Amino acid sequence: AQSVAQPEDQVNVAEGNPLTVKCTYSVSGNPYLFWYVQYPNRGLQFLLKYITGDNLVKGSYGFEAEFNKSQTSFHLKKPSALVSDSALYFCAVRIGGATNKLIFGTGTLLAVQP
Amino acid sequence: GAGVSQSPSNKVTEKGKDVELRCDPISGHTALYWYRQSLGQGLEFLIYFQGNSAPDKSGLPSDRFSAERTGGSVSTLTIQRTQQEDSAVYLCASSWGGLNNEQFFGPGTRLTVL
């Protein structure tokens, strides 16, 4: 079965430090991977995606993600965290075939301390 | 507006009543999706529309759930004879045609079944 795993329920980081939010996937065929962020009482906002090409993908708000095929990972990173980055982050994989539905991970709460 | 809109933002209903949730996608987006977000189940796919057709309804949890889309635009998700386990945030998303495009999410409708 195709799936996404986010092994950490919460990540704590001090403002100004680099952050990593982990994501691993299991799909048949080529993966199409996405990161979304959800602020309290808000819908999901698209951050970035990997479809093909360069393994390092840059997205909104200074975030980037590295696609690693051998490790089946797509970790989200930012060189210097901001308090305003505190939110719930979801990794997702697009399922192939006739549907464009996304399968989401369980989410990781990022808490950036001032 | 420029984004996906959903109404109502909050809905409280009594067990056994029917509810309708509305989604207005981004203008020009041919694909529309419904997801459900709940504490116990995370983010779950419900149904996918391409135009007015629904090629993937696999996520609808029971025959009490139905959805339609008219004019390639507005979509309505209907839940009949609501149950307490239907309580969740219902999220709508839309995207351009083409399977690699990111989905843009609305703010959601929080449904509470008493």
The answer to whether residue B104 scores a pLDDT higher than 80 is yes
Inter-chain contacts counted by CB atoms under 8 A, chains A and B: 54
Reading the block at residue A82, the tokens are 């901001």
Task: Residue A10: give its domain's CATH number.
Answer: 2.60.40.10
Task: Give every residue of chain A whose pLDDT is below 70, as ranges.
Answer: 96-97
**What are B42-85's pLDDT values in tens digits?**
899 999 999 999 989 999 999 999 999 999 899 999 999 999 99
Report the Cα–Cα distance between both ends of chain A, in Å, rounded: 41
Quickly state the pLDDT bin for B108 (edges 50, 70, 90): very high
Residues on chain A touching B4 (C-beta within 8 angstroms): 43
> Is the Cβ–Cβ distance between A60 and A68 less than 8 Å?
no
Indicate the class that CATH gives domain B5-103.
mainly beta
* Gap from A82 CA to chain B (nearest CA, Å): 24
The answer to whether residue B1 scores a pLDDT higher than 60 is no
Domain assignment of residue A50, given as a range: 3-113
Integer Cα distance of A65 and B49 in angstroms: 29
The answer to whether residue B41 scores a pLDDT higher than 80 is no
Out of A43, A94, A96, name the one closest to residue B105 (CB). A43
Out of A44, A94, A98, name the one closest to residue B105 (CB). A44
Domain residue ranges of chain B, discontinuous segments joined by +: 5-103
Integer Cα distance of B10 and B3 in angstroms: 18
> Is the Cβ–Cβ distance between A95 and A101 less than 8 Å?
yes
Which of the two residues, B105 and B39, has the higher pLDDT score? B105
Q: In whole numbers, what is the pLDDT of chain B averaged over residues?
A: 93
**How many folded domains does chain A comprise?**
1
Q: What's the mean pLDDT in B8-16?
A: 97
In sequence order, the 6+-apart residues with CB closer than 8 A to the CB of A47 are A34, A35, A36, A37, A59, A60, A61, A63, A76, A89
CA angle A24, A29, A31 (to 5 degrees): 40
